[in-house]
Amino acid sequence: MVRPQLHRIVHIHQQLRAGRYPNVPRLAALFEVNERTVRRDLQYLREMCNAPLEFDHQRRGFYYAEDFELPPMRLSEGELLALFVGARILAEYQGTPFSQPLSSALAKLAQFAPGTITVDLQAVSEVVSFQVEPLRGEAEAVARAFRQLEQAIVERRRVLVEYYSAYRDEITLRRFDPYCLRNSGGVWYVIGHCREREALRTFALDRILTLELLEDRFEVPESFDLRRYLETAWRTEVGEPVPVAVRFDAYQARWIRGKRWHPSQQVEETPDGGVIVRFIVGGLGELKRWVLQFGGHAEVLEPEWLRAQVAQEFRAATGLYAAGPTATAGTRQSAARSG
């Protein structure tokens, strides 16, 4: 059965067990479906579940002629594992906006499952392991901002945001038209139109200091397409798309091959066993940090200005290590500049 029908069957069964004598018109109005759909549900109860369903003409409703329980829901090992994984994900996202609805969904599924199923979750956890990116920021503050922005998006209301920019290390006040919410790498973002910049911007919810819903209304332009807006972004950072080429040596190429890092990715094998990976990416701050994690196993070939930035980062790091762990901050900075 599809989920809406399962919900109706369980609710009808509960009303019958409680002796409320439900009938077709009342059930159709309750579920906001036509009467033919309800009759099919009752037929399913009678024929597929062998329910002792009878109609009482005096009470003008259905009842069970004898004690009856719905047959147990049978779950496969794969379905049980899926529930286990869902519960583990829920544990990682406690305090986030999705915590309550996920808890509610799992609780409802548990009600439908037969009581005789026993699952050794400890045994499962020993053979199945996965990592979920932890939520960035204080959970209650992020959840509060999420709920306010969700309301603003639904009602098409402008918001006034006091925002801390980590890149510029400054706090600004922005009037903002929120279009959509997006999660990337454990960070919640809101994408929309900034009235101060008169351009599309992406704000991290954990950087929002204060948020106020205004009475001003807005409309999302028909030209806005989230997929197209993000198609050149590395993760969430958007900018003018430029060609990027990164060479990986033979050692690192073993982990680079076979993974899709970006939709525009093209891989070229090199004679020494390495690879050159080419992208078309806009907003290269995130990509630069990605390259830096590979250390000396990755080399930016183009654009030249990105190559220069990465080289400067490595020179600064070399200077820090050359100065030694006991050097003062001033000495380390001088060494970094001289490097």
- Listed residue (252, 230, 229) closest to 298, CA to CA: 252
How confident is the model at residue 211, as a pLDDT?
96
CATH no. for 3-64:
1.10.10
pLDDT tens-digit profile, the chain (339 residues)? 445 677 788 889 989 988 999 999 999 988 888 999 999 999 989 988 889 999 999 999 999 999 988 876 565 555 655 666 666 666 555 555 556 666 666 555 555 555 444 545 445 555 555 566 677 888 788 888 988 998 999 999 999 999 999 888 999 999 999 999 888 877 889 999 999 999 999 999 999 999 999 999 999 999 999 888 888 888 888 888 999 999 999 999 999 998 899 999 999 999 999 999 999 998 888 999 999 999 999 999 999 999 999 999 999 999 888 887 765 555 545 544 544
Question: Any residues with CB less than 8 A from the CB of 95 and at least 6 apart, and which?
Answer: 135, 139, 140, 143
Task: At 237, list the tokens.
Answer: 């950072």
Look at the alpha carbons of 310, 314, 319, 325 in this order and tell me if their dihedral is positive or negative: positive
Exposure class string for 262-301: b at 16+ Cβ within 10 A, else e: beeeebeeeeeebbbbbbebbbbeebeebbeebeebbbbe
How confident is the model at residue 85, as a pLDDT?
63
- Listed residue (28, 98, 111, 42) closest to 72, CA to CA: 111
> DSSP letter string over 238-284?
---EEEEEEEE-HHHHHHHTT----TT-EEEE-TTS-EEEEEEEE--
> DSSP letter string over 172-236?
EEEEEEEEEEEEETTEEEEEEEETTTTEEEEEEGGGEEEEEEEEEE----TT--HHHHHTTBSSS
How confident is the model at residue 335, as a pLDDT?
47
Is 139-230 the same fold as 3-64? no
Query: How far, in Å, CA of 57 to CA of 71, rounded?
Result: 27
What are the extents of the domains in the chain? Answer: 3-64, 77-127, 139-230, 241-323
How confident is the model at residue 97, as a pLDDT?
59
Domain 139-230 has CATH 2.60.40: no
Look at the alpha carbons of 282, 283, 287, 288 in this order and tell me if their dihedral is positive or negative: positive
Query: How far, in Å, CA of 158 to CA of 195, rounded?
Result: 10
DSSP label at residue 297? G
| Predicted TM-score (pTM) of this structure | 0.59
**294 touches 243 (CB < 8 A):** no
Task: At 134, list the tokens.
Answer: 């932890």
How confident is the model at residue 231, as a pLDDT?
86
Query: How far, in Å, CA of 140 to CA of 94, rounded?
Result: 10
**How many angstroms separate the Cα of 31 from the Cα of each of 4, 56, 109, 148, 285?**
9, 22, 20, 30, 51
DSSP label at residue 74? P
CA-based R_g, the chain, Å: 29
